[in-house]
Amino acid sequence: MRDSYVSRVGRAAALIARCDPVVYEEGQYAHALTPEQLQSYEQNGFLVLPEVLTAQEVNALREEATSLENNPAVQEGKEVIREPGGTALRSIFRVHQLGRRLADLPRDPRFLEVARQILGSEVYIHQSRVNMKPALDGKEFYWHSDFETWHVEDGMPAMRALSCSVLLTDNTPFNGPLTLIPGSHRQFVACVGETPEENYKTSLRRQDIGVPDPLSLRMLAEQGGLQAVTAPAGSVVFFDCNTLHSSGGNLSPWARSNVFMVYNSVENQLVAPFHGMAPRPEHIAARKDIKALSALAVAA
Ligand code: 6CS
Ligand code: FE
């Protein structure tokens, strides 16, 4: 398969114009967003929907995430990533297969229909996680494009995936909110440096490889600005797989906990990772038994 987005091949950084649509099938495959919302997503590479979930729904989800966090079997499991330089939990992966409410979440029509509309096809979960960003201790996630990693390390062919982040706590200016560069999804930043073997064992704690160079970052930020998603618990952010984003450390005494569900088109299933790397494990990048998600009869 031709590699349209060559990155981490030792050469200098480069900007490659996106050659994939942002919204597929002109947004006609399903009907969830208004034309204005769809246009805003297409333009910026993300869309914030405030307070989609009720307080009761969010509390139940947060309780389930907390019980996973405190579950000794989960704590010892491969899905847990701890903060760099410490032991506090940073992320739990594959949460949509670990908790009941979290299992229903990707099939909630309020999210699934948006993903089907934007990706213009049936969809499945490529990856899910809860990023806990604990109080006083949650470290940053440096600037990156998820697609750059999913393309190079997971063999995701095209930019036909998106993340749906459900805020389990208020995201404020003080607890490390998700921050995005509007419009950055239109340029693929080819990164410098070679990928070490089993890179995920360190990159999920602190990502040093596959991050954009300062000049490209600055150029895209000067074009699109920076937007922090400060919103109440229960709000939802949809962002394109290639939109540059980061989040700062959390020095506030309140956690910033968000669930991330990554929807991939069934037409965009993973192939062998580009540049001959070994595939990452199933709990980080789904390859087996891929089935299109069916919507729950009613919202979870
Ligand atoms: O490597 C990955 O798949 C993960 N890395 C980051 C920093 N964001 C996306 C994803 O969770
Ligand atoms: Fe990310």
Domain assignment present for residue 292? The answer is: no
Q: How far is the CA of 63 from the centre of ligand 2 (A)?
A: 24
Separation of 243 CA from ligand 2 center, angstroms? 9
Please tell me if the CB atom of residue 79 comes closer than 6 angstroms to any atom of ligand 1.
Answer: no
In tens digits, what is the pLDDT along the chain, a chain of 300 residues? 788 999 998 778 899 999 999 999 999 999 999 999 999 999 999 999 999 999 999 999 999 999 999 999 999 999 999 999 889 999 999 999 999 999 999 999 999 999 999 999 999 999 999 999 999 999 999 999 999 999 999 999 999 999 999 999 999 999 999 999 999 999 999 999 889 999 999 999 999 999 999 999 999 999 999 999 999 999 999 999 999 999 999 999 999 999 999 999 999 999 999 888 899 999 999 999 999 999 998 755
User: In whole angstroms, what is the distance from residue 260 CA to residue 52 CA?
Assistant: 15
Ligand nearest the Cα of residue 200 is 1
Asked if residue 208 lies in contact with residue 175, where contact means CB atoms within 8 angstroms, the answer is no
Say how many domains are in the chain: 1
Instruction: Check pocket membership of 148 for ligand 1, CB cut-off 6 A.
Output: no
Which H or E element spans position 16? Answer: strand 14-17
What number does the ligand 1 atom closest to the CA of 200 have? 1
Q: What was the pLDDT predicted at 276?
A: 85
Buried-state track 81-101, b at ≥16 Cβ within 10 A, e below 16: bebeeeebbbbbbbbbebbeb
> Does the CB atom of residue 207 touch ligand 1 within 6 A?
yes
* Close Cβ partners of 154 (under 8 Å, ≥ 6 residues apart): 126, 270, 273, 279, 280, 284, 285
Q: Please indicate, yes or no, if residue 295 is contained in any of the structural domains.
A: no
Q: From the CB of 144, is ligand 1 less than 6 Å away?
A: yes
- Closest ligand 1 atom to residue 153 Cα is 1
Tokens of 75: 């704590």
The number of the ligand 1 atom at minimal distance from the alpha carbon of 284 is 3
Expressed in angstroms and rounded, the spacing between residue 113 Cα and the centre of ligand 1 is 23
Q: What CATH number is attached to the domain comprising 43?
A: 2.60.120.620
What confidence score (pLDDT) does residue 299 get?
53
Q: Is 89 helix (H, G, I), strand (E, B) or coil?
A: strand
Decide: pTM greater than 0.85: yes
Q: Is residue 287 part of a domain?
A: no
Sort residue 51 into left (φ over 0), alpha (ψ -120 to 50) or beta. Answer: left
Residues 176-218 pLDDT 10s: 999 999 999 999 999 998 899 999 999 999 999 999 999 999 9
Q: Is residue 277 part of a domain?
A: no
Task: Tell me, yes or no, whether 2 lies in a domain.
Answer: no
**Residue 129 domain boundaries:** 14-196+205-268
Is residue 82 one of the residues assigned to a domain? yes
End-to-end CA distance of the chain: 39
**Does residue 36 lie within any of the structural domains?**
yes
Distance 297 CA to ligand 1 centre (A): 31
Give which of 157, 114, 76 is closest to 261, Cα–Cα: 114
Residue 223 is assigned to a structural domain of this protein: yes
Strand partners, 236: 49, 166
Q: Is the CB of 141 under 6 A from ligand 1?
A: yes
